[in-house]
Amino acid sequence: MKVPPFKIAIIGLGPKGLYGFERILAQLKANPTKEKVEIHLFNKTRFMGSGDIYRSDQPGYLLMNFANKHINMWTEESPPPVVEDPLSFSEYISLETQTPQGEIESLYASRATVGCYLEKGFARLKKNLPENVILQQHILEVRSVEKMDEVYSIGFMQGGKKCWLTDFQNILITTGHQRHKEATDKNHSKVSFIYPVQQKLNEWTQQNTVAVKGMGLTFIDAVLALTEGKGGFFTKNNDGKYIYKASGREPKRIFPFSKSGWPIMPKYDFNLKNDYELFVKRLKLLNHKKLSFKYEILPLIERDMGYTYYSTLFTHEREMLEYHPNYDVINRQIETFHQKHPGYARFSLDKLLEPEFNSSKCNHQNILEYLTAFTNENNRDIEHEAQLRAASVWRRISPIFNDIYSFSGLDAASHQEFDEYYFGKLNRIAYGPPPENLKKMIALANTGIVDFRFAKSPNIEPFKNGYMLSNGISENYCDILIDARIPKNSIEKEVTGLFINLCKNHLARPYENRDKNMNYAPGTLEIDRNGNLINPQGKAENITLYGTPTESIVHDNDTLSRTRNNFASSWSLSVMQHIINYTNANIMSTVLTNGSKREFMQVPSG
């Protein structure tokens, strides 16, 4: 009797889907079986491996926000990849450009270049498939998954009709950042998701005034698409300042705004010292109870950042701040320092997260001075240097915090407060763009194209076919509103309906952090510690989430990281064992059907 293939689906083939694909191929090569394995890859565009965020056709002015040396699509874990000589991104760029690797490791590449690297890595995987693997690629959006007799069917729209592919034993969902359903009001122009920018932002020209909601990384991408993307270009003067040369096709004005009014801080690739133990790390010992972020964790974050802030000032004054596990000892040194140097501002995490506007200056001037202070490398004030270094400590704390936060490690109220307030503010200070991109924002503000007058919490109302921005002092009509925020996970709002349909089909249930005081439901599906969906009966399905769909259960799913919240490796191990069990069950069925015995050996899962 012919054994039907074991069928696997990976839904979403950006970087996380690519990593899952790489791991399952490695497992299949290390644990060969004669039976066929079908792997079906689903992606809504042709950019397999890179996805929408890193697709290789995007403009070169859209840059990464971390250096080349931190990017590597391959892993050193066992079993090894199916390809020979897997290259890190720096090695790949060095080979492509014939440039010494040391000269490019600290540079920031374009996202399109990273996309090429990922897509070529995907192509190499396809050329090295294990002999028993059949690969199917589908360019479409999956809208539903159903289950019958322990196998899954995948639903999608094709030619206006709902179609199904059936008999999947295991599914990995790596759909990345969600897109939300568009508002039904067609009378007012709004862009809810800017990618791909060359399509979404192409029609807005010199005739238009644009409002941009959000002042983070996506805001910068939107502004560059509306300026460099319209044919303008930047030059540098002798002082290293950018000057913008307009093409004449840019919007008349771009008005950015956000709740706090403060733009994202630049990210410098500081070599963070690991020669002292973070105070936050001690909380990992308290794994027997849920923690309060504000009262138990935040004070320790302030100590860790404060230590780095003052270490910078001490070094500047040719003094040394001695580390001590008792923070009172550190504090006494700090008090002595302030007595000797009263001109320095005391460290305040609150002010770092949300500075105060100078009421004697307009919003535009406040923000220009803020951006200039943090991007002026040649003549930067030491206090601003100390603040940047303090902010960078969050990147060191973040993996430790993830261990505390994951799977309801915070009490429900703290969990909600962190997600809705602190997460964005900590990202603003620690995960910004390379300084060059903010220097470009300064140049555009100096030309008058970018105007920060409405930056802090303006009133915005639909007006005629556009929107009216007002701040109590002035108002301005805008033809278009661009939402430059990345949507948070929402089971109900997600545009394809995949996640709500998983619930309707009894394959998943919403995640809730529950305690005696309240319940918090962030809009994510519940998973176990291997990433498997939990159905309404509390049992794990053979459907695994990986990457952004797990956000709010685990913390900070770095898009390109192979190690952060790595569900790909445990998923591939589980699938390999599933394949072995499936194969053995079919062999036994054949033995029983034929009425004869056959010996077989179970292959170890590696």
What secondary structure, in 3-state letters, does 183-205 show?
A: CCCCCCCEECCCCCHHHHCCCCC
Could you tell me the strand order of the sheet in which 6-11 lies? 133-139, 37-43, 6-11, 170-173, 540-545, 532-534
Q: Which domains are seen in the chain, by residue range?
A: 6-179+489-594 (3.50.50.60), 190-264+434-483 (3.50.50), 279-430 (no CATH)
Short-list 179, 199, 135, 176, CA closest to 13? 176
214: left (phi over 0), alpha (psi -120 to 50) or beta: left
Residue 270, burial from CB neighbour count under 10 angstroms (0-12, 13-18, 19+):
middle
pLDDT attached to residue 591? 47
In the block, residue with structure tokens 């060059």: 436
- CA angle, corner 31, sides to 550 and 560, nearest 5? 30
Strand partners, 152: 147, 168
Q: What are the distances in angstroms from CA 356 to CA 260, 359, 367, 394?
A: 10, 9, 11, 21
pLDDT attached to residue 379? 76
Is the separation of the CB atoms in 259 and 457 below 8 Å? yes
Q: Is the peptide bond before 79 cis (omega within 30 degrees of 0)?
A: yes
In the block, residue with structure tokens 């990992």: 284
pLDDT attached to residue 476? 97
Q: Is the peptide bond before 196 cis (omega within 30 degrees of 0)?
A: yes
| Percentages (nearest 5) of helix, strand, coil residues in the chain | 40, 20, 45
Show the tokens assigned to 472.
Answer: 């109590």
Q: What are phi and psi of 418, to 5 degrees?
A: -65, -50
CA dist 456 and 105 (Å) reads 37
Short-list 489, 309, 283, CA closest to 401? 283
Strand partners, 254: 210, 450
CA gyration radius, the chain = 26
pTM for the predicted model, two decimal places: 0.93
pLDDT attached to residue 184? 57
Q: In this structure, which amino acid lies at residue 214?
A: G
Show the tokens assigned to 201.
Answer: 């932002």
Is the separation of the CB atoms in 406 and 290 below 8 Å? no
- pLDDT < 50: residue spans in the chain: 591-593, 595-606
Q: What are phi and psi of 556, to 5 degrees?
A: 60, 75
Q: What are the distances in angstroms from CA 379 to CA 240, 258, 376, 382, 442?
A: 11, 29, 6, 9, 16
Short-list 547, 545, 552, 543, CA closest to 506? 543
Strand partners, 151: 148
Q: What is the pLDDT of residues 149-176, one digit of tens each?
A: 999 999 999 988 999 999 999 999 999 9
pLDDT attached to residue 460? 96
Is the separation of the CB atoms in 412 and 519 below 8 Å? yes
pLDDT attached to residue 186? 62
Q: Each residue of 371-383: b (16+ CB within 10 Å) or e?
A: bbebbbeeeeeeb
pLDDT attached to residue 595? 46
Is the separation of the CB atoms in 295 and 283 below 8 Å? no
CA dist 92 and 187 (Å) reads 48
Neighbour tally for 332: CB within 10 Å: 12
